[in-house]
Amino acid sequence: MHNKFLLLILFLFIPNIMLGKNYMMNCISPDFKKAAFYKFDSTNEKLLMRTVKKKWKDFCDFDTENEQNINCTFNKLNIIRSSTIENEQDYLEKYLNINFTKYSLVETIKIFKNSNLKEKIDNIYKCKKVNI
């Protein structure tokens, strides 16, 4: 009797664990000033983001710093978000490469002055997997 009950429980819960389609990680910037949670729903290709003490927001829709031309590209468990921030003569191109297989986040910022590349900065965030 106990063996049948154990098999029934394993049959019900193991497929949900093995076939999970949601991924979550916590990332902190290299200077320890920014921290955020990222949740990815791979069935709907939706990436949500939440900073500390804030609500979940669609990461591909909201702008964080007066961004323009926000674009997200989904490639399995790798998401690339690109945007631009414009000033009078200068503008910034910002790329966030979020990888849920390696649980990593790389931010690349390209600063242009008069349409010439002035500086390129790569920030590698420290991320860890969060079990859902």
- Taking the C-alpha atoms of residue 132 and residue 130, their distance in angstroms, rounded to an integer, is 6
Look at 41-55, 92-106, 114-128 and tell me which has the smallest mean pLDDT.
Answer: 41-55
Contact 83, 98 (CB under 8 A): no
Q: What is the largest CA-CA distance in the chain?
A: 77
Of residues 3 and 127, more confidence is placed in: 127
Residue 53: its pLDDT value, please? 84
- pTM for the model stands at 0.77
As a whole-number percent, the residues of the chain with pLDDT over 90 amount to: 55
Does domain 2-129 fall into CATH 2.40.128?
yes
Contact 38, 25 (CB under 8 A): yes
Determine how β-strand 90-99 pairs with β-strand 104-113.
antiparallel
- Taking the C-alpha atoms of residue 63 and residue 80, their distance in angstroms, rounded to an integer, is 15
Mean pLDDT of the chain: 85
Q: Nearest-CA neighbor of 77 among 51, 38, 36, 50?
A: 38
